[in-house]
Structure 1
Amino acid sequence: MTGTVAAVAIGRNEGERLIRSLTTLTDQLDRVVYVDSGSSDGSVQAARDLGIEVVELDSAQPFTAARARNAGFAALKKSGLPDFVQFVDGDCGVEPGWIAAALAEFGKQEGLGIVTGWRLEIHPDASIYNALADFEWHRPAGEILACGGDMMVRSDVFDAVGGFNPTVIAAEDDEFCTRVRKAGHRIIRLPLPMTRHDAAMTRFSQWWQRAVRSGHGFAQVGDLHPDYFVQERRRVMLYGFFLPAMVLTALLVGFYLVLITALALYGLSYLRTAQGLQREGLERSMALRQSVFLSLSKFPNLIGMARYHLRKWRGSAMRIIEYK
C-alpha cells in the first residue's frame, strides 16, 4: 500500500535509549516528532541535534503518555497530517523494515485501524524483571483486542476516536484500542519484531512500582469500559484482597481449616500459572520463577487499583506512576 507515514516518539529522561530510538526512526522516515515530558537529562537537546522536531509539554499539567502522544499527533497535523502515524516509546528502537511491513499490511486487509508487532526486550537475561517484561510483550499474532503503545495507526481513525485519553495514566493504549474497536476498526498484530525495548529493570522496587501502575490501569480503564480488564480485576480482588482477609481472620480466630484452604488456593493458583507459562513456551525452571512474581503481583496491583479509586473519590489529578 502507498501512503505517507510519520512517527511520534515520546519520552522522559531516556538518555541513550532515546537517541537509539530516534535514530531507528530517522533511518526509515523523513518526519519524526519527539514529545518530551519534563526531561532533565539533555533529551530535548539530543533530539534537536538529530534534526528532529521537539514538543516540550507544559509541566503545569500532569504528564501522561496519552497526553504526549496526542501532542505529537497535533504537531504533525499542523504541518500536514500523514496517512499513518507510527507511535513509539522513547526506550524502544524500531526494527529495520518494520515501517514498510506495517504499511503493506494496511493495503492487504480492509477495516484495519491499527497494526502492531512484537516488542522484544534487548537484555531479557539481565534480570528476572526484564524476562517477565519480554514474555509479557510476546503475545500471539493475528486479530487482537488491544496492543501496547508501539503501534501504527491510521490518522483518520485516530482523529475520529479523539486520540488517546490524556487522563488515563496507565493502560492508556488499551483504552485507546477499545475505542478504536468500538468504532468498528480492526487491530492486527503481525508475527514480526517491531521494536526492541530496554526495560532496564534490575531492582525489585522497580518491578513493584510497575505492577502498581498496572493495577491503576486495570481500575481506571475498567471504570471507563466495564467490559474490559474484567478477569484481571477479579483476580486481583480474589488473590490480593479476599484470600488475605481470610488468612488474617483465620489467624485471629484460630479457624485453621480456613487458613489451610486459603493457602491451598494460593498454591493451586501458582501451579496453574506455571503450567500455563510452560504451555506458552517457557521452560520449566523459568516458568516456576516467573509464576512467583505473577502470583505476587496481585498485591501491588491492588495498591494501584486502590490508588485510582482514592484519587477519583478525592477528585485528584491522575499523575503518572514511574518505575525507572
Structure 2
Amino acid sequence: MTGIGVVVIGRNEGQRLERCLASLAGQADKLVYVDSGSTDGSVRMAQARGVEVVALDMARPFTAARARNEGFACLQQVLPAMRYVQFVDGDCEVDADWLSTAQAFLDAHPQVAVVCGRRRERFPQRSVYNLLCDLEWDTPVGQAKACGGDALMRADAFAAMSGYRADLIAGEEPELCVRLRANGWQVWRLADEMTLHDAGMTRFSQWWQRSLRTGYAFAEGAFLHGAAPERHWQRESRRAWLWGLGIPLAIVLATALLGSWGLLLLLIYPLQALRLARRGDRSTRENWLQAVFLVLGKFPEMLGQVKFLLNRLGAGKAVLIEYK
C-alpha cells in the first residue's frame, strides 16, 4: 500500500474494535483510532497495538462526522504523503483484500472520489434486526449517489470539501457525497467484500431508534440539499410523512365520518407490504421481513422528521440518536 491512511472511530466497542484493528494490521501506511469517551480500555488496547489514538474532547458535542474529521486531520500530520483515506467504524472488520482492490479501482478511475464495497452483517441469524441491516446494505453495484460509513476516499477530494459536516448527527456520508458529486466527482460501489459489521441489534427498541435516526437524517438532508436538481432525500421524507402521519390522520377522519367502515383504510398497510414483498428478489422470508419493516419503519421515520423540525424551531436540542 502506498499513501493509504485509515480512520477508525468507536466507543466501548471492546472485542469488536480488537477485530477491527487486527484486520487492518499491515494493510495501510498509518492507522488512527478516534475514541469518543470509552471506558472499556479501548484507548489502551489501541495504543498497545501501536495505533495512533485521538481522544475526543467530550465537552464538545459528539458526532461521528466530527470524529472522522479529527481522525483525518491527525492523518494529515502523521502521513503528509497520504493519497487515500479509508474510513471504517470500530464495530467492523475489514476484508483482507479490500484496500488493495479499492486502491486499484481509484488508481484506474481518476474521476472517482469515493469507492465502497459490500458491507455484511456478522451475525444475521441472531435477530431479525441484524438480518434487516444485512439486506439494507446490499445496494446496487456501479456508480452510486452515496456511500456509508465505510469507504475509501481520495484525500485531496475529502480535504477540498472540508470533510464531513461536523454538526450532522446522522446522514453525514450521503451529504458529503452530494457535495462531491456537485463538484464533478463520482461515487462507486463495487461487488467486492469490504467489511463485516456487528450491529448487535436484538431488541425492537434498538431497531426503532435506528429508524428514528434515519428519519431525522432524511429531514436534515432534504433541508440542506432538497432543492433541484439534487432533491436529496425529498422523496424519502415525503414517504415518511405520508405513511407515518398522513394516512393515519385520513383513517381517523374517515372513521369519524363513516364509523367503523373507515377502519377499512387500515388495509392499505398490509397491501403495501404485499406489494413490496412481491417486488423483492430474495427468499420469500427475506422479502416479507424487509417489506413489513419497511412499512412499519415509516412511523419512527416520521417521528425523526418531527424531531428535526422541533430542533429547527428551537423547541429541541440536536443530540446524537444512538441505538446501542
Q: Taking structure 1 as the reference length, what is the TM-score of the superposition?
A: 0.95
Residues 188-238 of structure 1: CA deviation (Å, up to 9, x unaligned): 111101000001101111111100110110011111110111221111111
Looking at structure 2, the residues matched to 276 and 235 of structure 1 have their Cα atoms a distance apart, in angstroms, of: 18
Looking at structure 2, the residues matched to 13 and 302 of structure 1 have their Cα atoms a distance apart, in angstroms, of: 30
Correspondence list, 1:1-324, <5 A: 3-81=2-80, 82-226=82-226, 227-260=231-264, 262-277=265-280, 279=281, 282-314=282-314, 317-324=317-324
Residue type of the partner of 1:51?
G
Residue type of the partner of 2:161?
V
Q: CA deviation at 1:43?
A: 1.3
Looking at structure 2, the residues matched to 91 and 308 of structure 1 have their Cα atoms a distance apart, in angstroms, of: 27
Partner SS for 1:28: coil
Partner SS for 2:272: helix
Q: CA deviation at 1:79?
A: 2.1
Looking at structure 1, the residues matched to 123 and 244 of structure 2 have their Cα atoms a distance apart, in angstroms, of: 30
CA contact (8 A) 1:114 1:153 kept: yes
Looking at structure 2, the residues matched to 254 and 42 of structure 1 have their Cα atoms a distance apart, in angstroms, of: 62
Partner SS for 2:125: coil
Residues 103-143 of structure 1: CA deviation (Å, up to 9, x unaligned): 00012223110011010111111110000000101111110
Residue type of the partner of 2:87?
F
Partner SS for 1:40: coil
Residues 157-186 of structure 1: CA deviation (Å, up to 9, x unaligned): 001111000111111111111111111101
CA contact (8 A) 2:12 2:38 kept: yes
CA contact (8 A) 2:2 2:29 kept: no
Gapped regions of structure 1 (runs ≥ 5): none
Looking at structure 1, the residues matched to 253 and 59 of structure 2 have their Cα atoms a distance apart, in angstroms, of: 46
Looking at structure 2, the residues matched to 180 and 25 of structure 1 have their Cα atoms a distance apart, in angstroms, of: 27
Residue type of the partner of 2:239?
R
CA contact (8 A) 1:62 1:317 kept: no
Partner SS for 2:173: helix
Residue type of the partner of 2:233?
F
Q: CA deviation at 1:317?
A: 4.6
Looking at structure 2, the residues matched to 251 and 34 of structure 1 have their Cα atoms a distance apart, in angstroms, of: 56
Change (3 A) 1:315 1:242: closer
Looking at structure 2, the residues matched to 40 and 252 of structure 1 have their Cα atoms a distance apart, in angstroms, of: 54
Looking at structure 2, the residues matched to 284 and 160 of structure 1 have their Cα atoms a distance apart, in angstroms, of: 46
Q: CA deviation at 1:286?
A: 2.4
Residue type of the partner of 2:216?
H
Aligned CA RMSD, in angstroms, stands at 1.5
Residues 18-70 of structure 1: CA deviation (Å, up to 9, x unaligned): 11111111241231000011112221111111111111111111111100000
CA contact (8 A) 1:7 1:87 kept: yes
Gapped regions of structure 2 (runs ≥ 5): none
Looking at structure 2, the residues matched to 250 and 192 of structure 1 have their Cα atoms a distance apart, in angstroms, of: 50
Partner SS for 1:120: strand
Higher mean C-alpha deviation, range 312-321 or range 6-15: 312-321
CA contact (8 A) 1:92 1:197 kept: yes
Partner SS for 2:126: coil
**Percent same amino acid at aligned positions?**
44
CA contact (8 A) 1:98 1:194 kept: yes
CA contact (8 A) 2:255 2:262 kept: no
Residue type of the partner of 2:179?
R
